[in-house]
Chain A
Amino acid sequence: MAYDKFEILKSTAVPLPIENVDTDQIIPARFLKATERKGFGDNLFRDWRYNPDNTLKEDFVLNNPIYKGKILIGGKNFGSGSSREHAAWAVYDYGFRCVVSSFFADIFRGNCLNIGVLPVQVSPAFLNKIFKAVEINPATEIEVNLPNQTITLLDSGENELFEINDYKKQNMLNGYDDIDYLTKMKEEIKDFEKTRPF
């Protein structure tokens, strides 16, 4: 489904300085039983966020009211593990529009781009700067500028360029997705299919 356009996002951020955050943590398997795409935000990081009796774990960052915003900052190798798009849906449904890390797992990155969450990969040094800035001042504002492909700590002006391929960038800027593209080339695909041996 087509999604909101993404141009410039200015927001505070939620820091999660853990490496190898896998999609089983982002949304545990037992919450994948829905047949519609709704309500996944409630179970984002379910087992890190709630005790078994459904009370909130106070030491988890999503339950700390001083951290909020539309940007999630994660440690290296964010989104590893299962290909479940539900993980990206949960991130989006909770209210995040951008995830920043020094390294993303492939399928999670692709899933994010397909549903309108911008994955921004920064250098390990810049990631550390962001974690430090947010730790010192949770009200730190960050600007993610997709047209310019920059991410900036607004207090200090420190910034870094990030990469995104042109096709995906245009999709995000215009709120188009791959299905829009593919359905327009169906005849070309049918001709190609005739050449396949099986």
Chain B
Amino acid sequence: MKHGKWPLIVTFLVPPVLLYVFFVVSPYLQAFQISTTDWLGYSADANPVGLANFKALWHDDYVWNALKNNVILLALVPVLTIVLGLFFATMLAMGGRKGSAGVTGVRGGALYRTVYFFPQVLSVVIIALLWKEVYHPNQGLLTSAAHAVGLPAPTWLGDPATAFWCVLAVMVWSNVGFYVVLFGAAMSAVPKEIYEAVLLDGASRFTTLRRVTLPLLWDTVQVAWVYLAIFALDGFILVQLMTNGGPNFSTDVIGVRMYDTAFGSETKFGYASAIGVVMFFLTLSVAVLSLRIGRRERIEYS
């Protein structure tokens, strides 16, 4: 293996490393530096201002408002998505209960999984634009459904009281299918004998789920938690396309704040990068925290 390996290593590794360092590593490093300047975009002068941007952030009510929304998303989106995902995955894996193993999948399970998963492959842009029409105050699917059953319909995305919840619902809608498939895969890795033994002991379906399936799935749930938390801290494209943070900033999130600051009416690149840096540390701490809190003893089969 030794002879002549260097030409290959060099030709195979240098181009990807160059590309990666140029477009990925260097922007990340620059972002930290830019966040300490007062750079206003297209002009050449960027003066170092130390932590002034971060100080201004601290007193920026719009940022706090956006952050508050992100925190609500962070508290609700993972919980709702994981609960629904677990619920449907359980239904699919154990809806039927017959045969020697005691639990079997529900009939047509493969079809359900296929359908549920589909939103996951759709572009976020399509999901956002489609749901914007579903929520349309005149001819939207929801409004007309409400009218059909004689209910008054709010203006959904047009009303500060409902807009945020409408966006949140779309976030959950687009994610659940993915977790049904993920949890389903984890469930099918649990040996059948365990269920057989539990069934012989006379455990009910609910007990089986709470006492057997969930603990065995804990690793997967925890990973799902981290990913959904990161998703909830972002939420940028959905919000930008559906409401652009409005009405009256009721759906604003940090991502939209940052994008507006950088590419909106003013190009406050220094300030935007500071928001980016804060987002970076928030994401990092949320990921580390959820891994810490969720840590339990690992269960291995065999």
Decide if A and B are genuine partners: no
